[in-house]
Structure 1
Amino acid sequence: MHKLILSLATIVLSLNISAQELQSKFNWHNLDYEQDGVRGMSVERAYKELLQGRKSETVIVGVIDSGVDIEHEDLKDHIWVNRDEIPDNGIDDDNNGFIDDMNGWDFIGGPDGQDVKQEQLESARLMVKYDQLFGEKPKKRKIKKYKEEYAEYLKIKGEIEEKKQEAAQYLPMYEGLLTNFTSSEDLLKEYLETESLSKEAVEAIKEADADIKIRQAKKYWLYLVDQGASKAAIQEGIDHFKGQLNYNYNPDFNPRAIVGDNPEKLQYAKYGNNEVIGPRAMHGTHVSGIIAADRANEKGVKGVADNVEIMVVRTVPDGDERDKDVANAIRYAADNGAQIVNMSFGKPYSPEKNWVDDAVKYAESKGVLLIAAAGNDNADIDIHRHYPTKFYKDGGEANNWITVGALSYKEGDEMVATFSNYGDESVDVFAPGVAIYSTVPGSKYEEKQGTSMAAPAVTGVAALLKSYFPTLTAGQLKQIILESSDKFNNQQVQLPGGGDTVAFGELSTSAGVVNAYKAVKLAMELTRKQ
Structure 2
Amino acid sequence: MKKVIFLALISTSVFSQDLKTKFNWHNLDLEADGVRGMSTEKAYQELLKNRKSTTVIVGVIDSGIDINHEDLKRVIWTNTKEIAGNGIDDDKNGFIDDVYGWDFIGGANGKDVDQEQLESVRIYKNLKSKFGTNPKKRLIKRNKEDYALLQKLKKEIEEEKKEAQQYLPLYNNMLEKISKAEEVLAEHLGKKDFSKDEVADIKTESVARNIREAKAIYLNLIAMGATRADIQDGVNHFKDQLEYNLNENFDARAIIGDNPAKLEYGTYGNNEVTGPDAMHGTHVAGIIGADRTNNKGVLGVADNVQIMTIRCVPNGDERDKDVANAIKYAVDNGAQVINMSFGKPYSPDKKWVDDAMQYAQDKGVLLVSAAGNDNLNVDEKVHFPTRLLQNGKEIANWIVVGAQNFEEGESLPAEFSNYGKKNVDVFAPGVAIYSSVPGSKYEEKQGTSMASPAVAGVAALLKSYFPSLTATQLKQIILESAVSLAGTEVRLPGEKIDVDFAELCKTAGVVNVYNAVKMAIEITEKQ
TM range, normalised to the smaller chain?
over 0.9
Q: Which runs of 5+ in 2 are unaligned?
A: none
Supply the AA of the counterpart residue of 2:364: G
Counterpart for residue 405 of structure 1: 402
- The reply to whether residue 292 of structure 1 matches residue 250 of structure 2 is no
Residue pairs, 1:239-318, within 5 angstroms: 239-318=236-315
Match 2:362 to one of 360, 365, 370: 365
**Quick check: 2:17–2:195 contact (8 Å CA) kept in 1?**
no
Counterpart for residue 382 of structure 1: 379
Q: Number of residue pairs matched? A: 523
**Quick check: 1:92–1:100 contact (8 Å CA) kept in 2?**
yes
Distance 1:189 1:306 in 2: 39
Per the TM alignment, residue 143 of structure 1 is displaced from its structure 2 partner at its CA by 1.4
Match 1:83 to one of 80, 84, 87: 80
What's the % identity of the aligned pairs? 62
Per the TM alignment, residue 179 of structure 1 is displaced from its structure 2 partner at its CA by 1.0
Counterpart secondary structure, 1:481: helix
1:398-431: CA deviation from partner (whole Å, max 9, x where unpaired): 1010000000000011110010000001100000
Distance 1:55 1:218 in 2: 52
Match 2:478 to one of 481, 491, 494: 481
Counterpart secondary structure, 1:175: helix
Counterpart for residue 389 of structure 2: 392
* Inter-CA distance 453–9: structure 2 relative to 1 (3 Å threshold): farther
Per the TM alignment, residue 148 of structure 1 is displaced from its structure 2 partner at its CA by 1.1
**Quick check: 2:321–2:353 contact (8 Å CA) kept in 1?**
yes
Counterpart for residue 168 of structure 1: 165
Residue pairs, 1:122-137, within 5 angstroms: 122-137=119-134
- The reply to whether residue 37 of structure 1 matches residue 34 of structure 2 is yes
Counterpart for residue 332 of structure 1: 329
Counterpart for residue 188 of structure 1: 185
Counterpart for residue 101 of structure 1: 98
Distance 2:8 2:226 in 1: 8
Supply the AA of the counterpart residue of 1:413: E
Distance 1:391 1:176 in 2: 44
Distance 1:526 1:192 in 2: 58
Distance 2:8 2:257 in 1: 35
**Quick check: 1:67–1:276 contact (8 Å CA) kept in 2?**
yes
- The reply to whether residue 492 of structure 1 matches residue 493 of structure 2 is no
Per the TM alignment, residue 217 of structure 1 is displaced from its structure 2 partner at its CA by 2.6
Counterpart for residue 17 of structure 1: 14
**Quick check: 1:404–1:427 contact (8 Å CA) kept in 2?**
yes
Q: Which runs of 5+ in 1 are unaligned?
A: none
Counterpart secondary structure, 1:51: coil
Per the TM alignment, residue 229 of structure 1 is displaced from its structure 2 partner at its CA by 2.1
Counterpart secondary structure, 1:92: coil
Distance 1:226 1:9 in 2: 9
Supply the AA of the counterpart residue of 2:66: D
Counterpart for residue 8 of structure 1: 8
**Quick check: 1:64–1:341 contact (8 Å CA) kept in 2?**
yes
Supply the AA of the counterpart residue of 1:7: L
Counterpart for residue 511 of structure 1: 508
**Quick check: 1:46–1:517 contact (8 Å CA) kept in 2?**
yes
* Inter-CA distance 31–196: structure 2 relative to 1 (3 Å threshold): closer
Counterpart secondary structure, 1:403: strand
Supply the AA of the counterpart residue of 1:500: I
* Inter-CA distance 304–167: structure 2 relative to 1 (3 Å threshold): same
Per the TM alignment, residue 193 of structure 1 is displaced from its structure 2 partner at its CA by 4.3
Return the TM-score normalized by structure 2.
0.97
Tell which deviates more after alignment, 247-256 or 19-28. Answer: 19-28
Distance 1:135 1:231 in 2: 45
1:117-169: CA deviation from partner (whole Å, max 9, x where unpaired): 00000001011001101111222211111111111111111110000011011
1:438-478: CA deviation from partner (whole Å, max 9, x where unpaired): 11111111111000000000000000000111111111100
Counterpart secondary structure, 2:47: helix
**Quick check: 1:118–1:248 contact (8 Å CA) kept in 2?**
yes
Distance 1:322 1:340 in 2: 21
Match 1:142 to one of 139, 144, 147: 139
Instruction: Supply the RMSD in Å over aligned alpha carbons.
Output: 1.3
**Quick check: 1:6–1:227 contact (8 Å CA) kept in 2?**
no
